[in-house]
């Protein structure tokens, strides 16, 4: 896909000052930052696009080349890239209060250092099948999963007997190095520490120097009543442990609700179907049925009810959060026509048909009547 003009991306004129360019980028970065839009690919792409534009237009040399030669002039410079500008992101926003915007994503009321972000453990996904009934009424259950935990042998340092790691002498703890030659500038992973920012002289034999070990874990989780299919439950700090003392990631549990043989759900309401005989439909009846939670309730079938009609039973649907209220239960009436009749039954029905004067040459119904 063709790139958009960098000035257009940041919403500024070609002759914009550095302050205007910085303001334009800051506005877009706040709106589309990945920590504010987790899992949103469109927002991530817009953030990268804005970051790339800022990385070029904030650099006088690159901007001059871009203004004169366009994108072609930047090829091979190492500029116009997402990673370079992202590394300078906090420099641009120094003193800007991101805690109020991204605090919930950073797990507290303080901003995290680059080292914390780099060493944070991965978030994990767990897909869970639950029954229709458990999704409606909620439940507590146990799950088992595998994640990285801190190595017992080295206590997470990665060194034998817990030996401390040393700041990498090549990158001075940054995890990256920048190489420049004239117009060309490139940021790359530090070859000495492989991006860790630190080194270890004698790696732990149990974890190979990573400071982490794979282990199985069981935890109890609570599924709230009325949860929807595809919803996510977040268990903080139960993802992979962080490297070099970094914070652990989170565990995301995605709910997949299994269908029920007799009930369906729409929002806070439940739906089911009840068969009735021709006589019950014609004369009316009082029936006893079982609800989803196996409670017995009585319903009244009004005389003359038609096939497909819905009866409403209040407060027998899905629990609504913690309000103590519920949705409703809708019962669809299915009038069952008998397939086999005894001779006596046929005789009686024929007499009824004659008494009622049933029309053997009926007129076609208006289409509007079919929905009544």
CATH number assigned to the domain comprising residue 212: 2.60.260.20
Average pLDDT estimate for 250-274: 96
Entry pTM: 0.60
Q: Which of 21-25, 69-73, 214-218 has the lowest mean pLDDT?
A: 69-73
- pLDDT of amino acid 109: 46
In 3D space, the residue among 133, 134, 168, 162 whose CA is nearest the CA of residue 150 turns out to be 162
Cα separations (Å) of 311 from 39, 299, 307, 332? 42, 9, 11, 6
Domain assignment present for 171? no
| H or E segment to which residue 274 belongs | strand 269-277
- Domain boundary pick from 111, 141, 172: 111
- pLDDT of amino acid 105: 41
Domain assignment present for 41? yes
Q: Which of 79-93, 237-251, 283-297 has the lowest mean pLDDT?
A: 79-93
330 and 250 assigned to the same domain: no
Domain assignment present for 210? yes
Confidence of residue 84 (pLDDT cuts 50, 70, 90): very low
243 and 308 assigned to the same domain: no
212 and 278 assigned to the same domain: no
Rounded-to-integer distance, Cα 128 and Cα 346, Å:
54
335 and 292 assigned to the same domain: yes
Number of domains in the chain: 3
Which CATH number characterizes residue 78's domain?
Answer: 1.10.287.110
219 and 285 assigned to the same domain: no
214 and 302 assigned to the same domain: no
Cα separations (Å) of 198 from 158, 161, 180, 245? 11, 17, 23, 12
- pLDDT of amino acid 357: 82
- Domain boundary pick from 111, 138, 167: 111
30 and 88 assigned to the same domain: yes
Rounded-to-integer distance, Cα 253 and Cα 220, Å:
12
Handedness of CA 157, 162, 167, 168 (dihedral sign): negative
Rounded-to-integer distance, Cα 286 and Cα 271, Å:
19
Tokens of 26: 């800051």
143 and 274 assigned to the same domain: no
Domain assignment present for 162? no
Average pLDDT estimate for 43-53: 88
In 3D space, the residue among 36, 46, 37 whose CA is nearest the CA of residue 98 turns out to be 36
Half-sphere exposure of 103 (CA within 13 A, CB side): 8
128 and 239 assigned to the same domain: yes
Q: Which long-range contacts (CB under 8 A, 24 or more apart) does 259-263 make?
A: 259/132, 260/131, 260/132, 260/133, 260/292, 263/132, 263/292
Cα separations (Å) of 17 from 13, 54, 64, 143, 227? 9, 12, 13, 56, 51
Task: Look at residue 87 and tell me whether its pLDDT is greater than 60.
Answer: no
Task: Look at residue 35 and tell me whether its pLDDT is greater than 60.
Answer: yes
- pLDDT of amino acid 99: 42
Domain assignment present for 372? no
- Domain boundary pick from 213, 243, 259: 259
Pick the most confident of 184-188, 191-195, 243-247, 266-270: 266-270
Domain assignment present for 301? yes
Greater model confidence, 91 or 351: 351
Domain assignment present for 328? yes
Average pLDDT estimate for 7-26: 90
13 and 142 assigned to the same domain: no
214 and 233 assigned to the same domain: yes
Dihedral class, residue 369 (left if φ above 0, else alpha if ψ from -120 to 50, else beta):
alpha
Task: Look at residue 322 and tell me whether its pLDDT is greater than 70.
Answer: yes
Range of the domain at 26: 6-111
Domain assignment present for 185? no
In 3D space, the residue among 154, 126, 118 whose CA is nearest the CA of residue 216 turns out to be 126
221 and 341 assigned to the same domain: no
Question: Beta partners for 273?
Answer: 332
């Amino acid at each position: 896909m063709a790139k958009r003009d960098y000035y257009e991306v940041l919403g500024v004129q070609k002759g914009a000052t550095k302050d205007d360019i910085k303001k334009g980028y800051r506005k877009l970065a706040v709106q589309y930052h990945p920590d504010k839009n987790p899992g949103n690919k469109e927002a991530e792409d817009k953030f990268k696009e804005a970051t790339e534009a800022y990385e070029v237009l904030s650099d006088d040399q690159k901007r001059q080349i871009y203004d004169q030669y366009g994108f072609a002039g930047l090829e091979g410079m190492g500029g116009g890239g997402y990673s370079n500008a992202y590394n300078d992101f906090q420099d641009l926003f120094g003193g800007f209060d991101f805690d109020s915007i991204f605090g919930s994503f950073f797990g507290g009321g303080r901003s995290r250092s680059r080292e914390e972000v780099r060493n944070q453990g991965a978030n994990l996904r767990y897909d869970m099948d639950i029954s229709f009934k458990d999704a409606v009424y909620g439940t507590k259950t146990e799950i088992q999963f595998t994640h990285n935990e801190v190595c017992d042998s080295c206590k997470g340092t990665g060194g034998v007997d817990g030996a401390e790691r040393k700041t990498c002498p090549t990158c001075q703890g940054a995890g990256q190095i920048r190489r420049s030659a004239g117009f060309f500038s490139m940021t790359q992973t530090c070859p000495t520490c492989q991006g860790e920012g630190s080194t270890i002289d004698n790696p732990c034999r149990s974890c190979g120097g990573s400071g982490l070990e794979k282990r199985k874990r069981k935890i109890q989780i609570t599924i709230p009543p009325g949860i929807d299919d595809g919803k996510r439950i977040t268990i903080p700090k139960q993802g992979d442990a962080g490297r070099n003392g970094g914070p652990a990631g989170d565990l995301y549990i995605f709910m997949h609700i299994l269908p029920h043989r007799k009930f369906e759900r729409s929002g806070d309401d439940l739906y089911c179907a009840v068969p009735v005989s021709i006589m019950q439909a014609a004369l009316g009846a009082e029936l006893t049925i079982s609800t989803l939670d196996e409670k017995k309730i009585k319903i009244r079938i009004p005389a003359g009810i038609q096939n497909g009609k819905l009866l409403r039973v209040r407060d027998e649907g899905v629990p609504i959060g913690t309000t103590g209220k519920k949705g409703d239960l809708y019962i669809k009436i299915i009038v069952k026509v008998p397939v086999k009749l005894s001779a006596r039954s046929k005789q009686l029905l024929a007499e009824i048909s004659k008494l009622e004067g049933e029309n053997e040459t009926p007129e076609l119904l208006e289409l509007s009547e079919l929905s009544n």
